Amino acid sequence: MTSSTIGSIYVIFYILMTVSCCSIFLFSTDKLKWALLVLGVIVMTLTNIPSVVYYLITGSTNYFKGLPVETIYKGLYLNLIFLLFWTAGYIFAAKNSITLYKTCQFKKPTISVWIFLVVALFAYIYQYSHNYSYGYSVQLYKYHLEKVGTFGVIGGFANMLPAIAAALLIGKYQRHDSHKHIISESITINILAYIILIADIIVGLTIDMQRGDIVRSIILIGLIMILTNKFRRVMLIFFVSFIALMFMSPFFDYLRRPAKGDKQLSNLKKTIEIANKLYGKVFSLEHLLREPARKSGLVVSAGSISEYTDREGRVGFTPYFGILFEPIPRIIWPEKPIPMSINGKKQGQAMSIAAKEIGQNNVIWMSGGGTMYWQFGWIGVVLGGLITGFLWAFLLSLSFRRGNFYLLVIILANIYWGRHLIDGLGNFLLHFVQAFKVVGIFWLLDTFISKLKPVNLKY
């Protein structure tokens, strides 16, 4: 078969996966349960096939980062196999779980929850008032490792803020129908939570952050609307967001420049020049495909790390040992090994190795397929996908079955913009351990208070 035929087959498989999972979502009465499945599959598809589609239509390999077409197709294959088994694991767990819609009671927010919210809010304000953005964190890891502990504590709490707001709204809705007398609580949570989520979207647009930070609160609002059966609004929000992120990013890039030293926030003329330079004055098919192709990172990283693995060998469980030290705050142990690396340093992580293989100094997004192949080969891709998908659906169901606010916060925070859903098993464990470090203090405080004074969960 020709290279174009192979590429077309891969694209068709990814599209069929997306359509199949969307069908499960559309015809289910418990849409929230399947929303994460659809999000994970869509993210995997959008971060894999655009560069291949661009190649099939234009013949250009500009967005393959110098990798041969055969390596790119191996990356696609790795990610597709991981996605298939991730989907199988998720469906198995979701099919055997409870119905999330109106089947549990989240208790009324306790004093610990409100303290958690206030701490996260102050951390969020402090973080972005001091330009503690993604670019800043990269500089810290490279040149000022002794400051990473402080940054990690502040950033850990700040990243929880949108998830706390969303969890408050979900918990309020689960209580709402049978507790209509709690009007003041409902209004307070509604106003406060939506202010936080909308403010987070604005911050994502105007501060030097990863593009995923722009849409994390949009996704959280979408999940809330799915739970409240406002399905048409969800579709409208995500359609508009997709168009904006894929085809208007030059405007976003320019808005994000103040944190890099350019203080001219509203130079519309320059913004239009940037857009015209990237897309041209006429929005031809080639121009419309260019920006999605440029962001199609997972296929490149999986292909790159597979070349390295085939040459140097698999690393096994070595990257997992760093997770054992993760509960120890870096502010206490500044030289603590960086988790998910083979040498305790950032350069030993899969995403850094993959970037170095293609001549980049920074890091690139890494998929679960690439990471699991680097660790255990094909068996890791299969089992890693199966276990990770299962755990996402199982823990989401568990948070609702137990009415556990803190577990729900951890899940919502780790969704991020969807890419974490399709991370490898090691990254999944790492993200949950990191989140528990932040949430666990208040979770334990809440448990302690409830033991002293039992709380009736039904209102």
Residue by residue, pLDDT tens for the chain (459 residues) are 788 898 899 999 999 999 999 898 888 888 888 999 999 998 899 889 988 998 998 888 888 988 999 999 999 999 999 999 999 999 999 998 877 766 667 888 889 999 999 999 999 888 777 655 555 555 555 555 556 666 777 888 988 999 999 999 988 887 754 444 455 567 888 889 999 998 888 777 666 555 567 788 888 988 888 887 776 666 677 666 666 655 555 555 555 554 444 444 445 555 556 555 555 544 556 666 776 777 778 899 999 999 999 999 999 999 998 898 888 877 778 778 888 888 877 767 888 888 888 887 766 778 899 999 999 999 999 999 999 999 999 999 999 988 899 999 999 999 988 889 999 999 999 999 999 989 998 988 888 887 775 545 443
Which residues are CB-neighbours of 81 under 8 A, at least 6 positions away? 369, 378, 381, 382, 385
Nearest to 77 by CA among 281, 325, 69: 69
Count of positions (residues) in the chain: 459
Which residues are CB-neighbours of 243 under 8 A, at least 6 positions away? none
- What pLDDT does 272 receive? 55
- What pLDDT does 262 receive? 45
Rounded-to-integer distance, Cα 406 and Cα 168, Å: 10
- What pLDDT does 282 receive? 47
Which residues are CB-neighbours of 326 under 8 A, at least 6 positions away? 339, 430, 433, 434, 437
- What pLDDT does 172 receive? 84
- What pLDDT does 351 receive? 86
Rounded-to-integer distance, Cα 448 and Cα 446, Å: 5
Q: What is the pTM of this model?
A: 0.86
- What would the two tokens of residue 128 be? 């972005």
Rounded-to-integer distance, Cα 164 and Cα 121, Å: 10
Identify whether the C-beta of residue 426 lies closer than 8 Å to the C-beta of residue 340.
yes
Rounded to 5 degrees, φ, ψ at 422 are -105, 20
Q: Give the HSE-up count for residue 81: Cα atoms under 13 Å, Cβ half-sphere.
A: 19
C-alpha dist (Å) from residue 191 to 125, 186, 196, 200, 447: 19, 9, 9, 14, 27
Rounded-to-integer distance, Cα 393 and Cα 390, Å: 6
Rounded-to-integer distance, Cα 263 and Cα 266, Å: 9
